[in-house]
Amino acid sequence: MKVLVTGGCGYIGAHTIVDLINNGFDVVSVDSNIRSTTQLLDGIEKITGKKVRNYKVDLCNLEDTHAVFHENRDIVGVIHFAALKTVPESVADPLLYFHNNLTSLVNVLKCVKEFNIPNLVFSSSCSVYGNTKALPVVEETPIGEAQSPYARTKQMGEQIIEDYSHVNDTQSIILRYFNPVGAHPSGLIGELPLGKPDNLVPVITQTAIGKIPKMTVFGSDYDTRDGSCVRDYIHVTDIAAAHTKALQYLLDHKNESNCEIFNLGTGNGVTVLEAILAFEKISGVKLNYVMGPRRPGDVIAIYANNSKAKEKLGWLPQIGIEDCMRTAWQWEVSLRNKVLSN
Ligand SMILES: NC(=O)c1ccc[n+]([C@@H]2O[C@H](COP(=O)([O-])OP(=O)(O)OC[C@H]3O[C@@H](n4cnc5c(N)ncnc54)[C@H](O)[C@@H]3O)[C@@H](O)[C@H]2O)c1
């Protein structure tokens, strides 16, 4: 059974491709490489022994997207990861985010409809909940005010899929990720931000290795146990496994409606300072960081109630914060070793 993965050269897409292949699926990827290279495809091949084809296509281009679907009419589903994901960048350039994230989604849906693709899985984010006080969040927690244009593209993306699902036969699952971190235990694939990273864990590992001289923790006066933001850090291979399970759930017709939503988090809230401590403990490296002002677009605290995904998808996150940091650090070190050996 063949699956089309958009954004397959990216961080979560690449880990999910490995999980899909390990569970017997064939995969093709569509990725314009606007925020990636093909490096992770080499890692996927080393891990799985399978070479994955990537169509270097911008999904905002309907004609090119259509051509990919036309060539792959036998797919059983689409997992749509491709999007821009950087909160501060979206605050600075909202139109870039609305154009890229929404046009690509609409084009994918147009092709899904035309080629009668039965199943769709969409990458959403806990950012759709905004600054909610009701923690941990359940899927029914009301959508809050978006704190960034990025978050708004996820809210709108979910709405577009829900409206589409009301009048079409496609079965959809929306997965709301909390904070995906870490890397594949092989050390062969991991997060590979182009340019300066904005997510906490690559900032930590790049600071520890010396690529970033000093890191800033944004906000020390939030109403949390140590003043820094609280997040639910979930290992990327746990996130990846949930996609295979979600697709299988749809293939087995276990869904109760045309569009279902699942939270993907561990259920544990960890502060930024606690995450730094966990990193220092597993790596033995003292991080050079300073406390700075709050960053526009950041929510204060969020963590998941993940009961629905556990019960219905049979998914169980396996990896805790220290192993998240350990695999992320192993990946950063392997990147440095690769540079040194070239
Ligand atoms: N990483 C996180 O912290 C996080 C959290 C919640 C949700 N998400 C969502 O998960 C998805 C995957 O995130 P990721 O961390 O793997 O990001 P990533 O940047 O590593 O991967 C996204 C990939 O999509 C590609 N892409 C973007 N726009 C495209 C377009 N128009 N056409 C073709 N390819 C395009 C990029 O080149 C990139 O390779 C995104 O939708 C993101 O918003 C990520």
Whether the CB of 58 sits within 6 Å of ligand 1: yes
Distance 331 CA to ligand 1 centre (A): 19
Task: Give the pLDDT confidence score for residue 195 in this predicted structure.
Answer: 84
Q: Please tell me the residue having the least CA distance from ligand 1 atom 36.
A: 35
Task: Give the pLDDT confidence score for residue 297 in this predicted structure.
Answer: 81
Task: Give the pLDDT confidence score for residue 133 in this predicted structure.
Answer: 86
Q: Please tell me the residue having the least CA distance from ligand 1 atom 9.
A: 123
- CATH superfamily placement of domain 2-182+233-265+303-318: NAD(P)-binding Rossmann-like Domain (3.40.50.720)
Mutate to test the pocket of ligand 1, among 9, 12, 107, 203 (most ligand atoms within 8 A of CB): 12
Task: Give the pLDDT confidence score for residue 293 in this predicted structure.
Answer: 96
> Most distant CA pair in the chain: distance in Å?
55
Task: Give the pLDDT confidence score for residue 338 in this predicted structure.
Answer: 83
Supply the pTM of this predicted model: 0.97
Mutate to test the pocket of ligand 1, among 9, 79, 81 (most ligand atoms within 8 A of CB): 81
Distance 81 CA to ligand 1 centre (A): 5
Distance 6 CA to ligand 1 centre (A): 9
- Rounded (10°) angle between helices 321-341 and 272-283: 60
Alpha-carbon distances, residue 240 vs 5, 8, 17, 181 (angstroms)? 12, 12, 8, 11
Name, in order, each residue with C-beta under 8 angstroms of 169's C-beta and a sequence gap of 6 or more: 116, 118, 258
3-state secondary structure the chain: CEEEEECCCCHHHHHHHHHHHHCCCEEEEECCCCCCCCHHHHHHHHHHCCCCEEECCCCCCHHHHHHHHHHCCCEEEEEECCCCCCHHHHHHCHHHHHHHHHHHHHHHHHHHHHCCCCEEEEEEEHHHHCCCCCCCECCCCCCCCCCCHHHHHHHHHHHHHHHHHHHCCCEEEEEEECEEECCCCCCCCCCCCCCCCCCHHHHHHHHHHCCCCCEEEECCCCCCCCCCCEECEEEHHHHHHHHHHHHHHHHCCCCCCCEEEEEECCCCCEEHHHHHHHHHHHHCCCCCEEEECCCCCCCCECCECCHHHHHHHCCCCCCCHHHHHHHHHHHHHHHHHHHHHC
Whether the CB of 34 sits within 6 Å of ligand 1: yes
Pairing relationship of beta strands 2-6 and 171-177 according to DSSP bridges: unpaired
Residue corresponding to tokens 């093709």? 28
Strands of 171-177's sheet in order across: 53-55, 26-30, 2-6, 75-80, 119-125, 171-177, 259-264
Within the chain, which residues score under 70 in pLDDT? none
Pairing relationship of beta strands 215-218 and 289-292 according to DSSP bridges: parallel
Whether the CB of 16 sits within 6 Å of ligand 1: no
Task: Give the pLDDT confidence score for residue 313 in this predicted structure.
Answer: 98
| Cα atoms found within 13 Å of the Cα of residue 217, Cβ hemisphere only | 22
Alpha-carbon distances, residue 327 vs 99, 235, 323, 330 (angstroms)? 34, 9, 6, 5
The partner residues of 260 in beta bridges, in order of sequence, read: 173
Q: Please tell me the residue having the least CA distance from ligand 1 atom 26.
A: 82
User: With the C-alpha atoms ordered 225, 234, 40, 5, is the resulting torsion angle positive or negative?
Assistant: negative
User: With the C-alpha atoms ordered 257, 247, 174, 131, is the resulting torsion angle positive or negative?
Assistant: positive
Whether the CB of 332 sits within 6 Å of ligand 1: no
Task: Decide if 287 contacts 280 (C-beta within 8 A).
Answer: yes
Residue 2: name the closest of 18, 15, 21, 19 by CA.
Answer: 21
Task: Decide if 30 contacts 4 (C-beta within 8 A).
Answer: yes
Report the catalytic residues. Answer: 150
